[in-house]
Structures are given as C-alpha cells and as structure tokens.
Chains A and B, each alone.
Chain A
Amino acid sequence: MTETGFEPNIIAFVCNWCSYGGADIAGSMRLKYPSNIKLIRVMCSGRVDPEFIMEAFRSGADGVMVLGCHPNDCHYIEGNYKALKRCNMLRPLLDQFNIEQDRLHLDWVSASEGEKFARVSREMNERITKLGPLNWEKAIGPIRSMEVPS
C-alpha cells in the first residue's frame, strides 16, 4: 500500500520448471517481494495464450508478468521463444487499446534466481504503482454479455 492507497493487482504467469522454482527459492531465502503479485503456475511460458493476458486485463489486473526460463534453457526447447515473440507483438497491440506497454512485462528467472525473482517483482510493482490503476471495465464503460438461450 502506498500513500495514495493504490495497491496494484498484478498477475504473474510463472513457468513450472524455472520461474516457479525461483519464486520458491525467494520464499525459502525469506526475501521480501510485494504480496499483491498473484502467481499462476503454468507448465511453460509458451503456454501463456495471449487470451489469458487479455482476460487478466479485462478482469481487473493492473499489470501482467510472464516469467520463463532463460533463452536456451527452456524445458520444452523453445517455449520461451514463443513467449518472447508473443509478448513483443502483444505490447504494440495493447498500446493501440491504450494500455501502457509497461503493464506487460516478460522476464527470465531461473530456478536458482530467488534474488532476481524478488527484484523483478518489486520493480514491476513500482512501475505499475506509478502508472496507477487500469480498471478496464470501469474505464471503457459497461461490457454487456448475454447467455445463450436454452
């Protein structure tokens, strides 16, 4: 919580093989990182469908992180490259929707890098706190949806 009272809602997709391990180590090393970062473990950063990221922003996330294995270290050989290309392309697209590009962050965290995990999380939290809330549904007015008739 900052003096403005804004605590960002940050979703982090972390890969099972590296970054989740990194988060685990950060915990066992008793490193401090912001508690408002919500981790979602996925098998690979390449599994993060951009629809998940869009859904997160629509559902109230102020920022989204995708954390995967370092280049050449992917458990599935090239999943992290898929994530890299996707996030690079998603950023200008988000920009066109008027979502600041910094709200999406991709980084590499290995299973031993507890320190880096905590740092990346802190930096993300600072960036998003500075950007302020996104509040998608409120910002764009009501999104209506109907159920399929039975």
Chain B
Amino acid sequence: MSDKPKIAIYWCSSCGGCEEAVVDLNEAILDVVDAVDIVFWPVAMDFKYEDVRKLKDGELLASFINGGIRLSEQEEIVKLLREKSQLVFAFGSCAVMGGVPGLANMTDREGIFTRVYKEIESNDNPENRVPETETKLDGKYDLELPEFYDSVYPLDQIIPVDYYIPGCAPSPETITDAFTAILEGKLPEKGSVLSPTKSLCDTCPRKDSKPDKIEIERFVEPHRYDKLDDGRCFLEAGIICMGPATRGGCGERCINANMPCRGCYGPPNNVKDQGVRMMSALSSLIKTDEEKEIPKVIETLPDLIGPLYMYGLPSSILFRKKIK
C-alpha cells in the first residue's frame, strides 16, 4: 500500500447523484486518484465494512459522506467513519441539510410504510407485511434489517462534521475547489461551508433585469408560466426563486436552464432557517398593504413547505411536521 493519504466516500439516504458528481469530474478525477488512495467507496469499489473497521483511528485523511441519515445502518457506519477519519465532509445537500429525501419529515415511518407497503395500487402484499428489524424464517434463520427511523437527519445531527460541500449535486467547481483546498492544506476554519458566502442573486445572470422594487400581486408556479425563458428576474413574475436565501457557487445551472433556484446550496452564513428567511423575503414583496387583500395573495400559493424547504426541512428550526 502506498503512503498517499487515504479517503473514503460513503452514501446514506441519497440518490447516487453525488457519486455521479464525483465521476463527472471527468479527467480531473485522475488527478484526485493520483493524489489519494480511495480505500472505501461502496458504489464504485469492492470494500467491506470490515475493511473500514480494521483501519486505525484517524487513519483516513478524509471521509466524504453524502445523503441524510434515515437508517440505523447509516448511523453506525458514519460513526465508524468519524472515528477513522481526521476530517469529515458532508457532501451534497442531503448530508448538509437533509435534502429532497428530507421532505419525508412531513410524515413518519408508519405513514411511509402504510403508503409504500399497504396502499400502493400495484402492491401484492396480502399479509400486509412491512419491513421489520428482525424476522425468523422457517423458525430458525434470524434475518436482520436496519431500523428505519421516523425522521431524516442531516449528517451533523448524528456526528460532528468538519466541512460542508453543498449542492444537489455539488458542481464540479465546488468539488475541485474543495479537493484542492484539502491537498494544499488551505482549508478555512472548521465548520465552514466550502462555497461563496454571498447569495445567488449576486451572481445571477438575470440580476440586471431585477426592478428596483419587486411588487408581487399573485404567486405563479413555474409550470404555469410560459415566459420562463424571457431572461427576466423570476421573482418579478411572482415565481418563487430561492436565490435571495441561497448561497451562490453552483454556477447558476438552474437559472441558465430557465428554471428558478430551488435552494440546493443552502442558506448563506448566519441564516439558520432557509425556508422562513425566504418566506420573510417573499412576504415583503407583496404589493398590497390592505389587511384583507394580503391573505388573498398568499392563497395563490398552494404549498409553502415544498418550495421553501425543498432541501432544508430536516435542518430547519422546526425539523419536521408534528404527526400526532
């Protein structure tokens, strides 16, 4: 084994897009592989949990963990990786904030199991069975499954996290900047998010079209708006664009594809709750000052959690919906 620094890449409750983002570095990934040894990466390489257990504490220079925590197995492995790693990076929106799977915090284990295993029309489950942590088969085999938690947790609610690499998925620039900072020893203060601190609006290609004062008379959902490609500020048209409450650094990929920002890079520094911060900004753009008219404008928004917390529900102040 060479004496190159060792790293691990692990996935939890995520879609695999973050792994793909690493592969999407294209030829730059060769530089990464030149500089480090990847000793654990379940998606791409055949290593077992046992191999990680055999490592010495702190033997890994860094672990890059994507996905939120939903299963006891994920909690166990990230705790193991924490012991073995000098640095832990929350990689991607799900690990940083919970991400899209975090919207499952609007229900709980029972709600999910009932829907997925009992109600779905195409199911064939006459005994109404749901996953259980222990199953006895033929009275002699003990089968074990990880526990499915009621909520999705961002990584830093389970283990201490040193750095955050946001994005769904992180852009190639964000990833290469992070790798470069690690290898050159130029990491900022611990706890930092490795992306610019200014909001997305600051670098938005549409910012010149933003009027001095935006006045919203009604909110519009993007799929009901046929001028998304007119190059003008989305908020001006009453479309929720998370730009004001979202950190830049993503390369404005959605805006360049004529879609409003959904907030995957998370809030800028010092903002705790991206959703209510955006709600606060949106409400101040409502044109009317009439007490009776304001609720009518707000009623044009059928759902608030979806657009405001697409990525950040588990890291919001309230964390989840109350079920009982």
Task: Tell whether B217 is near chain A: CB-to-CB under 8 Å.
Answer: no
The answer to whether B317 and A55 have CB atoms under 8 Å apart is yes
Q: What residues of chain B lie closer than 8 Å to A143, measured between beta carbons?
A: 157, 319
The answer to whether A136 and B190 have CB atoms under 8 Å apart is no
Binding-face segment, A21-29, A32-40, A88-96: A88-96
The answer to whether B160 and A141 have CB atoms under 8 Å apart is no
Task: Tell whether A117 is near chain B: CB-to-CB under 8 Å.
Answer: no
CA–CA, A50 and B276, complex, Å: 6
The answer to whether A98 and B282 have CB atoms under 8 Å apart is no
The answer to whether B317 and A54 have CB atoms under 8 Å apart is yes
Q: Chain B interface residue count: which class?
A: 35 or more
- A92 nearest in chain B by CB position: B304
- A93 nearest in chain B by CB position: B304
Q: Smallest CB–CB gap between B7 and chain A, Å?
A: 18
Task: Tell whether B235 is near chain A: CB-to-CB under 8 Å.
Answer: no
The answer to whether A96 and B298 have CB atoms under 8 Å apart is no
Q: Chain A interface residue count: which class?
A: 35 or more
Query: Which residues, 290 to 317 on B, are CB-close (under 8 Å) to A?
Result: 291, 294-295, 298, 301, 303-305, 308, 316-317
The answer to whether A93 and B279 have CB atoms under 8 Å apart is yes
The answer to whether B321 and A89 have CB atoms under 8 Å apart is no
Query: Which residues, 158 to 190 on B, are CB-close (under 8 Å) to A?
Result: 158-162, 190
Q: Smallest CB–CB gap between B282 and chain A, Å?
A: 7
The answer to whether B318 and A57 have CB atoms under 8 Å apart is yes
The answer to whether B190 and A148 have CB atoms under 8 Å apart is yes
Determine which of B157, B279, B295, B320 lies in contact with A145 in the assembled complex, contact meaning CB atoms within 8 Å.
B157
Q: What residues of chain A lie closer than 8 Å to B320, measured between beta carbons?
A: 97, 140
Q: What residues of chain B lie closer than 8 Å to A140, measured between beta carbons?
A: 151, 318-323
- Please name the 6 residue pairs, one residue from A and one from B, whose CB atoms are nearest each other, closest first: A148-B191, A85-B283, A54-B317, A98-B322, A50-B276, A144-B157
Q: Which residues of B contact A (CB under 8 A)?
A: 106, 150-151, 153, 156-162, 190-191, 271-273, 275-277, 279-280, 282-284, 286, 289, 291, 294-295, 298, 301, 303-305, 308, 316-324
Q: Which residues of A contact B (CB under 8 A)?
A: 49-51, 53-55, 57-58, 71, 78, 81-82, 84-86, 88-90, 92-93, 96-99, 136, 139-141, 143-150
